[in-house]
Structures are given as structure tokens and as C-alpha cells.
Amino acid sequence: MANGTAVIAGKSFYEEGTTKSKSGIASWIFSTDHKRIGLLYLISIVSFFIIGVIIAELIRLELIAPGETIVDAETYNRLFTLHGVIMIFLFIIPGIPAVFGNFFLPIQIGAKDVAFPRLNLLSWWLYMTGAVLAITSLFLPGGPADTGWTFYVPYSVRTGSNVIFALLAAFILGFSSILTGLNFVTTVHRLRIKGMSFFKMPLNIWALYATAWIQVIATPIIGITLLLIIIERTFGVGIFDPTLGGDPVLYQHLFWIYSHPAVYVMILPAMGVVSEIIATFSRRTVFGYKMVAFSSLTIAFVGYLVWAHHMFTAGLSETAAVVFSLLTFIVAIPSAIKVFNWVATMYKGSIDPRTPFKWVMVFIFLFSIGGLTGLVLGSLATDVHLHDTYFVVAHFHFVMFGGAGTIFFAAMHYWFPKMFGKMYNEKIADIGVYMFLISFLTLYFPMFLLGYNGQPRRYFDYLPQFQTLHVISTIGAWMMLITITLVVWNLIHALRKGEKAPDNPWGGVTLEWQTSSPPPLENFEEMPNVPNEPYDFSHLTGIKDGSK
Amino acid sequence: MEANNISEHVTHRHRDDVGAKLGMWLFLFTELLLFGGMFLAYAVYRMKYPQQFHISAMEMNTTMGTLNTIILLTSSLTMVLSIAAMQKRNKFLSIIFLLSTLFLGTLFLINKYFEWSHEISKGIYPGSEVLLSKQNGEILYFGLYYAMTGLHGLHVIIGMIVLVFMLVFVINDNIKWDDYVKLENAGLYWHLVDIIWIFLFPLFYLIQ
Ligand code: HEM
Ligand SMILES: [Cu+2]
């Protein structure tokens, strides 16, 4: 290596670190190695995801019968708030960028680390601080927030629960997200390996890059909005509180100016991973590469202009409502461009449907349902009927969980061999995928029907005629719990007992497959070759027919 | 530059001044947006209660505000001079100008303290009876006044803490004439604090 620094050949980043202490927990929580930070995030994020799931199981159990079943109304409010806050701020927003982005962004562009390794570590510490704050409120008098994850005023200014903890948590997590974002933007601009122009970057990088911009541009708005509520609550300053002349609808605007783009922070990185997996397992270059790349940027941009579709029933002017409805329809176009290009990529590819690919198929199916029902909600007339019903709950679980969440699992299975150097049992993993699809539909599809028939969201009670559908959904929740346990167990088992993974188990062509599994501290023993085009499978022609 | 980065050892000193500045600009951008949210709230409420905003703005002490504007503008100048001195390899002068910047920052805060105390002595502070007996628009005006100038004051304090670190770095040669991107970034931050004030000043003190 240059500068005469000795990187001992054959040592992986597990055996060699950036800290003084060579092993033990300190070598992890103070490490500035992007791979270790990615794994720190992985452990934390999966843990919080599991806590979120357990809370969700309690929610579903309460809903198994009308009336009070296991918790009272007040506790129920706290449960769904905590579930929402954990799933949104601790799981799905940081999920793919912080774990897989951290681990693979530098490797895929041939860099040794991100641009600001220490800021990267700081962002994990901030993440943990936020998480701890959110969880501590559980054990304090007053209890956790009961406002819903949206913290709408005036209730969030009045309630006696510990909203400030949840608000501060979200604020700090936002800061963490901003640091990740500006780190990634700078890394992509400054640290690409020689020869990797923007249009040779893997689509995953394009997606992470677009996401990073949203993180930088949108997050400060929620930061200030939540901060203003904190100020309002602590000092009694009049800002949003209507009794002091404030305007609660202004709060909603500010909240959604961030929180709609935030859904693209969730879904764009997932779409990037999808492009990778489809290319690899179809053995074919991504159809319409540039279109897919640009559509990420378009989504990031137009996604910034649609926020008020969450407020159609909050007293928007008619003109504003029509404009926002139209823009909402327009933002569906770049998403559709992606889906069609993915399908075109598979056409005449030589498809090898391994586990990650199966996860992606589940994604396309569930995400399409989520996206199309989004259009139903984006239309003014139908939204008036469906607003704040279980139709919305079903819709956003299809998009977030069925979309981004599914790809979290897909990415886990795709990059597992690279990250840990072990293979998992693919049969069990495949069973996990099938079970996931079935449980998911059982759990959430009834919610569309419930909502269409008028069941409002955020209620611990319901009319007797809704019970059958609620029971089906709760059974789905149990199936989902079993599925998640199986999938996670299979991977943990592979960590301990799995066979050693080859460097390139799937025949991928992006740079991470040119290094060893797991990679060395500085990612590459020798500098990787940058291919002429991002997904070049031409070496396969002749071996496999039909590709290209 | 790029090839250079690749061949450098990351865990050792990795230097990329352009990257460092890019990161800083992105960060400043987020700070602007943070205040942007409050400016938006200000605009909305000003449209809603123009008359009452007018009445409240009459209460402000324009002299104090102007004085503080001059102080902050001057401190931006001394900041630039400190960097310029560093570029000219004059460590001593650089330190002097940094100290002046810190001094002006302190002056700003002292001034702000008196200004706030003055309002508070009139009974105008969040949740006070005097304030609550006023009209809605006035309550909002003062709510925003305290929130925005308060958050800005917080940024001045953070900026000063950063500058103290820079001072230490300059003194022990961690920042040198050929490696001063930290100082430049701190300067950028300080200018941001200044610029935000430049917007706060007319909104609260001049437009009546
Ligand atoms: C086993 C998995 C899950 C189950 C059983 C589940 C169940 C539910 C239910 C029943 C509600 C509605 C509560 C109500 O409105 O009364 C809900 C709300 C919510 N869920 Fe999930 N969920 C699961 C996973 C997820 C995941 C993975 C995410 C995010 C990626 C998520 C995000 C949310 C959000 C944001 C809310 C809204 C909370 C609020 O109204 O403030 N959920 N969940
Ligand atoms: Cu939205």
C-alpha cells in the first residue's frame, strides 16, 4: 500500500481495527471504520425493530376483540405512538443507509472509508442517544408520549405524557441522519476511485446519493418544528398553540415538509438495492440505467413538493388541494419508471432466483400495492372518505414495511456473505420469504377492507361488525412474528455454523465482489478494476446464453 | 486530487480540504433551513396579524439592535482577518484577530442580555400576565422574538465555543499556514451566525 503502511495480507476488518484496543467492545463503539459502524447500526437497528414488533404484537392483541382487551385507551395511545416512533425514526429511516450504505457505499465506489469517518461514528452515538431517550420515557412518571408519531399540536402541547423525550429523541435522530447525509454526499463527490465517473456508479450509489440530499435538505425542517414544540411546551412561548393565536395547520405543513420527503429516505435506498439485486441475479445490465439513476433524483426533487397531501382534510384551500393532488400523481411517474425498467431488465435475462431475488419479487408485489393505494389516497374525493382510517394504516405498512422493510431483509441476505464471510441456509431462507409474503398479506390486507368500511385508525376499540377482519389481522401478526423469528434465527445460526462464503457467491459485478469476504480494513488488498459500464456481464456471454 | 485520496491511508491522516469545505457548506445549508422554518412561521403570522406585529415591533429598541448588528458585522471582519493573517504565516496576528472575534461575540451576548432583561422587566416574557393579556398577534410576535433570537444566541455561543477550540489549535500549531481548513470552516460558521442576524435584525427591529 502507498505511504508504506503495512496492511497485513489476508486480515479482515474483524481482525484489524482503527482503535487502540484490539478487541472487546471498545474496538467497536469507538471504531471509525465504516464497516464496523455499519455493523453497530445493524445490531442497534435490528434490536429496535424487534422492540417495535413486540409493541405491535401488543397492539394487535388488544384489537383481537372489541372493548378493552389487554390495555386501556390511554396505554393503547402510548403503544401505537411508541411503535410509530421506533419504526419510523429508529428502524426504517436510518435502516438501509446507515447499515448497508455505511458498509457498502465506500466499497462500491472503491474508497477506503467515508469522507468524515469521525462524524460517521458521532452519528451512531447520536442515534443511540436518541434511542435511549425514546426508550427512557417508558420508565418515567407520566409515561411515554401518547400523541401518535406525528406530534400534532395542540394536543402535543397539552398532554401530560413525556412528549419532550420523544421530541428530543426525534430531534437528535434527525441530527444523526443529517450527518450521515452530508457524509455520503461528500464521499460520493470526493472519494470515487479513479475511472468511476458518475455514470459508472452502481445504482445503489445513485440512490444513496439522492437519499443523502433529502436527508440534508429536509431534516432540518423537522428539527426546527420539533424544537419549536419543545420551546412551546417548556417555556409557554406562543407559536402553534391556537389559544395564543398560533396556527396548528402551520405545524402540520412544517411537519410534512419533512415527513413526506422522509418516506423517500425510506424507499429510495431500498430501490437502489433492488437495482443491484435484479442486475446480479438476471445477469444483465440494468435496462435504462440512466433513467433509473435520474428517477432517483426526480423522486428526491418532486417528493419535496407534495407534502400537503397529508392535509387534504385539514382545511386547505381548494386550489392548494388540487395542486398537491396533481403533484402527488406526478411523483408516481419516476417510481413507475423504476418498476418498468426492473421488469425490462429481467426480460431475457438468465434469472437465477436465489433468496435475495425472491425478496425483491415480494417487494415489487407489495410495493406496487402500496404505491397504487397511495394514488387512491392522493385523489381528493376518495381521501375524504379514507383519511385517518385503517386504509391508510394498510397503505403505509405496504409501502414502508412491504417496501423498505422487505428490502432491508433482501439486502441482509444479499450482502450477508460479504459482511460476515458466511453462507446461510438458503432453503430455510426461502421458506422465510414465502412465509413473509403470506403473513404480510394476512396481517395487512384486511386493514384495507377495514378502512374502506370505516374503521378509524388510532382506536383501541371498534364496532362488533369489524371483528372478523381484526381477528384475521391479529393472526397475521402472530404469523409475522414467527416469520421474523425464523429469518433472524437462520442468519444468526449461519453466523455461528454457516459455511465459509466465497468472495463472489452470486456472480455480482460491482466492486464489493472484487474484494474478500469479509473485506480487509481498507476494503481492498489491491485496487479493484473499474468496469467500463456499471453492470457489465459480457464475460458471461458464451457461458450462459440469452444474456445481453 | 482524487487519485491522491485513494492512495492515502485513511486511518492515518487523511486530508481533503475541498471535501472538508463541501461538508461544511452542506452543514451550513442545513442550518439555514433550520432557521428557514422559523422565518416561514414569521412570514405566515405577519400576514395574519400585520397590525399587531406593527404594534409589537414599536416596542423594540432599534438602537440596541443596530449596535449588535455592527458588532457582529465587525466580528465577521476580524474573523476573515484572522484567516488572512494565517495565510500570510502570521500566527500572532491570527491569534489577535481570533481573540477580537471572541471579544465581539461576548459583547453581542452582553448586549442581548440587557435587551432581553429590558423586555422582561416590562413584564413581556413567555407566559407572563402582561403578555397573555395582549392580543394574539402580539403574543406570537414576542413568542417568535424570544424563540428566534434565543436560538440565534445559542448559535453565537456554539460559534464561540468552536472559536475557542480554534484558538487552542492555532496556539499549539494544529492549525498552520499550510493547513488551516478548520479555521476556514469555523469562519464559515461564524459568518452564518452573522448572516442569520442580518435577517433577524430587519424583521424584528426595522420593519414596523
Ligand atoms: C409485525 C409487524 C407490525 C405490526 C403487527 C404492525 C401493526 C400496526 C398497527 C395495528 C397499527 C395501527 C395502530 C392504530 O392506528 O391504532 C400500526 C401503526 C403504525 N405502524 Fe405498524 N406494524 C408492524 C410493523 C411496522 C413497521 C415495520 C413499520 C415501519 C416500517 C410500522 C410503522 C407504523 C407506523 C408509522 C404506525 C402509525 C403510528 C401512529 O398512528 O402514530 N409498523 N402498526
Ligand atoms: Cu406523503
Q: Is B53 an interface residue toward A (CB < 8 Å)?
A: no
Contact A93, A495 (CB under 8 A): no
* Residues A419, A428: Cα–Cα separation, whole Å: 20
Distance in Å, alpha carbon of B51 to nearest chain A alpha carbon: 14
Q: Which of A153, A190, A234 to mutate to test the interface with B (most CBs of B within 10 A)?
A: A190
Contact A546, A540 (CB under 8 A): no
Q: How confident is the model at residue A459 (pLDDT cuts 50, 70, 90)?
A: very high
* A61 CB neighbour count, 10 Å cutoff: 15
CATH class for domain B18-205?
mainly alpha
Q: Is the pLDDT of residue A502 over 60?
A: yes
Q: Is A8 an interface residue toward B (CB < 8 Å)?
A: no
**In the block, which residue shows the cell 434527525?**
A174
**Chain B residues inside the 8 Å CB shell of A18:** 11
* Residues A240, A247: Cα–Cα separation, whole Å: 5
Which ligand has the nearest atom to the CA of A256? 2
- Between the alpha carbon of residue A215 and those of residues A161, A276, A354, A440, B30, the distances in Å are 29, 22, 32, 29, 9
Q: How confident is the model at residue A9 (pLDDT cuts 50, 70, 90)?
A: low
What grid cell was written down for A240? 402553534
pLDDT digit string, tens, across residues A419-448: 999 999 999 999 999 999 999 999 999 999
**A340-349, A516-525, B7-16, B119-128: segment of lowest average pLDDT:** B7-16
Sequence ranges of the domains in chain B: 18-205
What grid cell was written down for B206? 426595522
Report the pLDDT value the prediction gives residue A232, as an integer from 0 to 100.
Answer: 92
Buried b (16+ CB within 10 A) or exposed e, B185-203: bbbbbbbbbbbbbebbbeb
Q: At what angle do helices A406-420 and A467-497 cross, to 10 degrees?
A: 10
Say yes or no for a CB contact (<8 Å) between B147 and A231.
yes
Nearest CA in chain B to A106: B6
The predicted complex's ipTM stands at 0.89
Q: Is the pLDDT of residue B2 over 70?
A: no
Distance in Å, alpha carbon of B67 to nearest chain A alpha carbon: 26
Residue nearest to atom 41 of ligand 1 (CA): A148
Please give the backbone phi and psi of residue A152, each rounded to the nearest 5 degrees, phi first: -60, 135
Which residues between 76 and 135 in chain B have a beta carbon less than 8 angstroms from any beta carbon of chain A? 126-127, 132, 135
Say yes or no for a CB contact (<8 Å) between A113 and B10.
yes
**Ligand 1 atom closest to the CA of A49, numbered from 1:** 27
Buried b (16+ CB within 10 A) or exposed e, A366-387: bbbbbbebbeebbebebbeebb
* Residues A444, A396: Cα–Cα separation, whole Å: 10
Single out the residue of B3, B169, B72 nearest to residue A196, CA to CA: B3
Report the pLDDT value the prediction gives residue B207, as an integer from 0 to 100.
Answer: 83
Report the pLDDT value the prediction gives residue A79, as an integer from 0 to 100.
Answer: 95
Residue nearest to atom 22 of ligand 1 (CA): A56
- Residues ≥6 apart with Cβ < 8 Å to A139: none
Ligand 1 center from residue A102 Cα (angstroms): 27
Report the pLDDT value the prediction gives residue A523, as an integer from 0 to 100.
Answer: 93
**Ligand 1 atom closest to the CA of A147, numbered from 1:** 41
Q: How confident is the model at residue B7 (pLDDT cuts 50, 70, 90)?
A: very low
Residue nearest to atom 2 of ligand 1 (CA): A53
DSSP B7-35: HS-SSS----HHHHHHHHHHHHHHHHHHH
Mean predicted confidence (pLDDT) in A368-383: 92
Contact B196, B155 (CB under 8 A): yes
Single out the residue of A441, A286, A263 nearest to residue A365, CA to CA: A441
Portion of chain B with pLDDT greater than 70, in percent: 93
- Between the alpha carbon of residue B87 and those of residues B90, B91, B113, B166, B175, the distances in Å are 7, 9, 35, 15, 11
Q: How confident is the model at residue B13 (pLDDT cuts 50, 70, 90)?
A: low
pLDDT digit string, tens, across residues B18-40: 999 999 999 999 999 999 999 99
Mutational test site, ligand 1, from A51, A147, A397, A461, max ligand atoms within 8 Å of CB: A397
Quick check: bond before A154 cis, omega within 30? yes
Highest mean pLDDT among A140-154, A333-347, A460-474, B113-127: A460-474
Say yes or no for a CB contact (<8 Å) between B22 and A189.
yes
Sequence ranges of the domains in chain A: 2-96+117-541
Buried b (16+ CB within 10 A) or exposed e, B86-113: beeeebeebbebbebbbebbebbbebbe
Report the pLDDT value the prediction gives residue A541, as an integer from 0 to 100.
Answer: 62
**Chain A residues inside the 8 Å CB shell of B140:** 238-239, 244-246
pLDDT digit string, tens, across residues A333-350: 998 899 999 999 999 888
Q: Is the pLDDT of residue A546 over 60?
A: no
Please give the backbone phi and psi of residue B136, each rounded to the nearest 5 degrees, phi first: -55, -45
What grid cell was written down for A200? 459508472
Q: Is the pLDDT of residue B8 over 50?
A: no
Q: Is B148 an interface residue toward A (CB < 8 Å)?
A: no
**Chain B residues inside the 8 Å CB shell of A511:** none
Say yes or no for a CB contact (<8 Å) between A117 and B10.
yes
Residue A363: what residue type? F
- Residues ≥6 apart with Cβ < 8 Å to A436: A362, A406, A409, A480, A483, A487
pLDDT digit string, tens, across residues A165-185: 999 999 999 999 999 999 999
Report the pLDDT value the prediction gives residue A332, as an integer from 0 to 100.
Answer: 86
Quick check: bond before A518 cis, omega within 30? yes
Nearest CA in chain B to A119: B23
Q: Is B55 an interface residue toward A (CB < 8 Å)?
A: no
Ligand 2 center from residue B36 Cα (angstroms): 21
pLDDT digit string, tens, across residues B72-86: 999 999 999 999 999
Contact A76, A62 (CB under 8 A): yes
Buried b (16+ CB within 10 A) or exposed e, A311-339: bbeeebeeeebeebbebbeebbebbebbe
Contact A340, A364 (CB under 8 A): no
Contact B60, B136 (CB under 8 A): no
pTM for the model stands at 0.93
Ligand 1 center from residue A394 Cα (angstroms): 9
Residue nearest to atom 19 of ligand 1 (CA): A84
Portion of chain A with pLDDT greater than 90, in percent: 79
Contact B136, A244 (CB under 8 A): yes
**A1-10, A133-142, A249-258: segment of lowest average pLDDT:** A1-10
Q: How confident is the model at residue A538 (pLDDT cuts 50, 70, 90)?
A: confident
Report the pLDDT value the prediction gives residue A2, as an integer from 0 to 100.
Answer: 38
- Across the interface, of A3, A119, A235, the residue whose CB is closest to B9 is A3
The CATH topology of domain A2-96+117-541 is Cytochrome C Oxidase; Chain A (1.20.210)
Residue B167: what residue type? L
Q: Is the pLDDT of residue A325 over 60?
A: yes
Residue nearest to atom 4 of ligand 1 (CA): A56
Report the pLDDT value the prediction gives residue A143, as an integer from 0 to 100.
Answer: 87
First to last CA, chain B: 52
Helix (H, G, I), strand (E, B) or coil at A64: coil
Q: Residues lining ligand 1, judged by CB closer than 6 Å?
A: A 53, 56, 59-60, 80-81, 83-84, 87-88, 91-92, 148-149, 393, 397, 400-401, 405, 443, 457-459, 477, 480
Which residues between 386 and 445 in chain A have a beta carbon less than 8 angstroms from any beta carbon of chain B? none
Nearest CA in chain B to A118: B11
Q: Is the pLDDT of residue A224 over 80?
A: yes
Q: How confident is the model at residue B4 (pLDDT cuts 50, 70, 90)?
A: very low
Mean pLDDT for chain A overall? 92
pLDDT digit string, tens, across residues A55-86: 999 999 999 999 999 999 999 999 999 999 99
